[in-house]
Amino acid sequence: LITWSIDEDSKEEQAHLCYTNNIGYSTFCSYPPEMVKEMPKKVLVKEIQRLQVALGEQSKMAMLSQQQCERLKNERILCRICFERDICIVLLPCRHHVLCEPCSDKCQSCPICRVPIESKSSVNDAVNSDDPLSDIV
Protein backbone atom coordinates (compact mmCIF):
# COMPACT_ATOMS: atom_id res chain seq x y z
CA LEU A 1 0.00 0.00 0.00
CA ILE A 2 1.42 3.34 -1.05
CA THR A 3 0.65 6.41 1.01
CA TRP A 4 0.85 9.82 -0.60
CA SER A 5 2.61 12.70 1.09
CA ILE A 6 1.64 16.34 1.04
CA ASP A 7 4.48 17.12 -1.37
CA GLU A 8 3.50 14.55 -3.99
CA ASP A 9 4.50 16.82 -6.90
CA SER A 10 8.21 16.81 -6.06
CA LYS A 11 10.48 14.68 -8.24
CA GLU A 12 12.12 13.10 -5.22
CA GLU A 13 8.75 12.14 -3.76
CA GLN A 14 7.61 10.63 -7.06
CA ALA A 15 10.82 8.64 -7.31
CA HIS A 16 10.42 7.47 -3.72
CA LEU A 17 6.79 6.47 -4.30
CA CYS A 18 7.78 4.54 -7.39
CA TYR A 19 10.56 2.76 -5.51
CA THR A 20 8.82 2.09 -2.17
CA ASN A 21 7.19 -1.35 -2.00
CA ASN A 22 7.87 -1.89 -5.68
CA ILE A 23 8.31 -5.62 -6.07
CA GLY A 24 7.45 -5.96 -9.75
CA TYR A 25 9.20 -4.80 -12.89
CA SER A 26 7.43 -1.45 -13.17
CA THR A 27 10.08 1.21 -12.85
CA PHE A 28 10.24 4.81 -13.94
CA CYS A 29 8.79 4.06 -17.36
CA SER A 30 5.72 6.23 -16.75
CA TYR A 31 7.91 9.28 -16.15
CA PRO A 32 9.19 11.50 -18.95
CA PRO A 33 12.94 11.10 -19.63
CA GLU A 34 13.63 14.62 -18.39
CA MET A 35 12.22 13.77 -14.97
CA VAL A 36 14.23 10.55 -14.72
CA LYS A 37 17.42 12.41 -15.64
CA GLU A 38 16.85 14.81 -12.76
CA MET A 39 16.17 12.09 -10.16
CA PRO A 40 18.79 11.49 -7.49
CA LYS A 41 21.42 9.06 -8.75
CA LYS A 42 21.14 7.11 -5.50
CA VAL A 43 17.49 6.26 -6.28
CA LEU A 44 18.33 5.21 -9.83
CA VAL A 45 21.26 3.05 -8.68
CA LYS A 46 19.06 1.29 -6.10
CA GLU A 47 16.43 0.64 -8.76
CA ILE A 48 19.01 -0.79 -11.17
CA GLN A 49 20.38 -3.04 -8.42
CA ARG A 50 16.85 -4.22 -7.56
CA LEU A 51 16.15 -5.00 -11.20
CA GLN A 52 19.46 -6.88 -11.56
CA VAL A 53 18.57 -9.04 -8.55
CA ALA A 54 15.07 -9.64 -9.93
CA LEU A 55 16.49 -10.55 -13.35
CA GLY A 56 18.94 -12.99 -11.75
CA GLU A 57 16.13 -14.67 -9.82
CA GLN A 58 13.96 -14.77 -12.94
CA SER A 59 16.81 -16.37 -14.91
CA LYS A 60 17.28 -19.02 -12.21
CA MET A 61 13.57 -19.77 -12.23
CA ALA A 62 13.53 -20.04 -16.03
CA MET A 63 16.48 -22.44 -15.96
CA LEU A 64 14.84 -24.58 -13.28
CA SER A 65 11.60 -24.62 -15.26
CA GLN A 66 13.46 -25.71 -18.38
CA GLN A 67 15.24 -28.48 -16.46
CA GLN A 68 11.95 -29.62 -14.95
CA CYS A 69 10.34 -29.61 -18.40
CA GLU A 70 13.15 -31.78 -19.78
CA ARG A 71 12.83 -34.14 -16.83
CA LEU A 72 9.06 -34.40 -17.30
CA LYS A 73 9.51 -34.92 -21.03
CA ASN A 74 11.86 -37.84 -20.34
CA GLU A 75 9.50 -39.26 -17.73
CA ARG A 76 6.71 -39.15 -20.26
CA ILE A 77 8.73 -41.06 -22.84
CA LEU A 78 10.05 -43.84 -20.62
CA CYS A 79 7.99 -46.82 -19.56
CA ARG A 80 6.55 -46.46 -16.05
CA ILE A 81 7.52 -50.03 -15.16
CA CYS A 82 11.06 -50.56 -16.45
CA PHE A 83 12.14 -46.93 -17.05
CA GLU A 84 14.36 -48.27 -19.84
CA ARG A 85 12.28 -48.40 -23.03
CA ASP A 86 10.06 -45.87 -24.75
CA ILE A 87 6.32 -46.03 -24.21
CA CYS A 88 4.45 -47.39 -27.22
CA ILE A 89 1.25 -49.00 -25.92
CA VAL A 90 -2.13 -47.44 -25.14
CA LEU A 91 -4.15 -49.44 -22.64
CA LEU A 92 -7.89 -49.79 -23.14
CA PRO A 93 -10.39 -48.88 -21.82
CA CYS A 94 -8.52 -46.34 -19.64
CA ARG A 95 -6.37 -44.97 -22.52
CA HIS A 96 -3.25 -44.56 -20.40
CA HIS A 97 -0.11 -44.37 -22.53
CA VAL A 98 2.61 -45.37 -20.07
CA LEU A 99 4.10 -48.77 -21.02
CA CYS A 100 6.53 -50.32 -23.43
CA GLU A 101 5.47 -53.47 -25.26
CA PRO A 102 7.39 -56.02 -23.13
CA CYS A 103 6.04 -54.57 -19.89
CA SER A 104 2.50 -54.32 -21.27
CA ASP A 105 2.59 -58.06 -21.99
CA LYS A 106 3.15 -58.69 -18.29
CA CYS A 107 0.41 -56.38 -16.98
CA GLN A 108 -3.15 -57.47 -16.34
CA SER A 109 -4.27 -54.07 -15.05
CA CYS A 110 -3.22 -50.51 -15.74
CA PRO A 111 -0.33 -49.45 -13.47
CA ILE A 112 -1.84 -45.96 -13.17
CA CYS A 113 -5.53 -46.52 -12.44
CA ARG A 114 -5.62 -50.32 -11.81
CA VAL A 115 -8.48 -50.83 -14.29
CA PRO A 116 -8.31 -54.32 -15.86
CA ILE A 117 -6.79 -54.16 -19.35
CA GLU A 118 -9.29 -55.27 -22.00
CA SER A 119 -7.09 -54.56 -25.00
CA LYS A 120 -3.89 -52.78 -26.04
CA SER A 121 -3.05 -50.64 -28.99
CA SER A 122 0.43 -50.05 -30.37
CA VAL A 123 1.19 -46.37 -30.96
CA ASN A 124 4.04 -44.78 -32.86
CA ASP A 125 4.11 -41.42 -31.14
CA ALA A 126 6.03 -38.57 -32.81
CA VAL A 127 7.92 -38.09 -29.53
CA ASN A 128 9.25 -41.65 -29.76
CA SER A 129 10.43 -41.45 -33.35
CA ASP A 130 13.85 -40.48 -34.64
CA ASP A 131 12.19 -37.83 -36.79
CA PRO A 132 13.91 -34.42 -36.43
CA LEU A 133 10.47 -32.84 -36.29
CA SER A 134 9.55 -34.86 -33.21
CA ASP A 135 9.81 -31.78 -31.00
CA ILE A 136 6.75 -30.40 -32.74
CA VAL A 137 3.89 -31.86 -30.74
In tens, the pLDDT along 21-33 reads 444 556 777 788 8
Left, alpha or beta for 21 (phi > 0: left; psi -120 to 50: alpha)? left
Q: What is the residue-wise DSSP string for 88-120? A: -EEEETT----B-HHHHHH-SB-TTT-PBP-EE
CA dist., res. 112 & res. 107, Å (int): 11
pTM higher than 0.75? no
The pLDDT of 83-109, averaged and rounded, is: 94
Most distant CA atoms of the chain, gap in Å:
78
Rounded to 5°, the CA angle 86-87-91 comes to 165
Residue % of the chain over a pLDDT of 90: 44
12-66 residue pLDDT tens: 555 555 544 444 556 777 788 888 888 889 988 998 899 999 999 999 999 999 9
